[in-house]
Structure 1
Amino acid sequence: MNDGSSFAGRPDASGTLSRRPQSFFVLRETPCPYIPGRMERKLVTELSPRGWPNSYSDLSRAGFRRSHLFAYRPACRGCDACVPVRVDAARYRPSKSLRRIERRNADLAGTLRPPVSTYEQYLLFQRYLKRRHGDGDMARMSYGDFRAMVEETSAATRMAEFRDRDGQLVGGCLLDLLDDGCSAVYSFFEPDEQARSLGTYMIHWAIADTLMRGQRYVYLGYWIAQSRKMAYKTRFRPLEALGPHGWRDLDDAAIARQQTAAADGDAA
């Protein structure tokens, strides 16, 4: 897991690393799953229950994501395509299309549940993967793998379940509750319910839930201008991006600049 590169430090709220005793490791390079022909490399640290919640919340503000008991952030050579983004729930203003999606799903009940997997969730997860990501590694996940994804956590993790009036599970979203909001780890939904736009709706719901709990941010992971799969994240405004000078609004002009730069880079 460790290629020998490590340092001690801890991100503060501005996204920089302060000198506190936490070990970080740089993993070996592997093919990038988002941009063909590129290699990815990750900076990783283990999440300790003793450090929760402050350390993980600080790491999220510094652009890290969680996988099981680890937090990671891209540390790729010569590439900064992965841009950490978050929604400011206090300033969130859904577009007309997002309000239509909300009305379309008015019959659904969303509930935050403990991170305990169920076979019902796994069957929905499998249907989603086979239809949406059948060629990916996750499509081969067993129930044991799914259970580990949900339950191996040292964070305040919750599973948001979405059920229709008949009690049918149509969507699930794994969320980590932070001291300033939540981090959306992974979502899956009924692939036959395309008209509902469930993936978009669950984020919209999480933003409203965060505001209701008196918190502010919903961390959506990384936005990549070259990846069509990431384009949906720019629907939620205001969307903030983490850059050299901290978190700043990512407006239409900034998105266009990123996309142009990405296209120029691919052409070169």
Structure 2
Amino acid sequence: MDRLPNPVWLRSFEAAARHLNFTEAARELGLTQTAVSLHIRSLEAELGEKLFSRAARRLDLTELGQSYALTVRRALSDIALSTNSLFGPATRQTLTLRAPISTATYWLAAELPEFSALYPEVPVRLVSNIWADSAAPGDVDVEIRLGYGDWPGLRAEKLCDETIVPVCPANAPLPALEKMRQGPLIHILGYEDNWARYFEAHDLPPNEAAVRHSVDTTVAALQLVMAGAGYATILTRFARNAIAQGAPLQVAGPPIPFAQSHYLINPDGAAAPSPLAQLYSAWLRERLARDAAP
């Protein structure tokens, strides 16, 4: 086939050329302004020519850009017209993800903008549950669980190893480990041994008498930490994303290995995953590989 740029870049270019504004184009396409700008720069690099002239508070098409915009607009219109006439109006498929509430809040939600920038045509529905076994299978394309990978009747594909770290308020002095051991400590139900494991990894005995609060989610534990109610141990991945999102927290000690991992879940004997599930799963594996790269 003759030279053909990425169709996603072309769609962003057509919208930006019509609005002469990256922000308006992004709003129309359901993308971020940064994603549209990246698509345009990538297209210009692919073509070896500038399509827009950029000035303060003003965006204009170059002469080549004007000519190319007409061609791209006509081509996209022809494709849309042919698709509608042959196959009927589009029915958008939604990708439904399910994960534990803390995984959804402090990991998947933080990564979704990148996925959506790459696949703007795929609406995403993210649903969560507190306990893995509390949710019926339902109409879910991709399910992610945190555990040991030994759920009866389910195939589990390990996604990544995890570590845990202690966290404290951002505005507090970093405590020594012995000071943290004196509490107050926050337990997360289902992971009550995290503090004992953390202290034992540093040759210190556990201190159950220092436990002041028990909660059922990492979300609640972090709210208590931010309120100054104590220290909590959480997944390093969650701590990093919460801090990146602006949570007033800081990591208060080095990570230690965590026995549980995140897994992709499929029922035994189930049909092959849907194309949307395969698309998202492949992207997630690639995203994790980038995180793991030195």
Please identify the structure whose Cα radius of gyration is greater: 2
TM-score by length of 1: 0.25
- TM-score scaled by structure 2? 0.24
Q: Which of the two has greater helix per residue?
A: 2
Task: Choose between structure 1 and 2: higher strand proportion.
Answer: 1
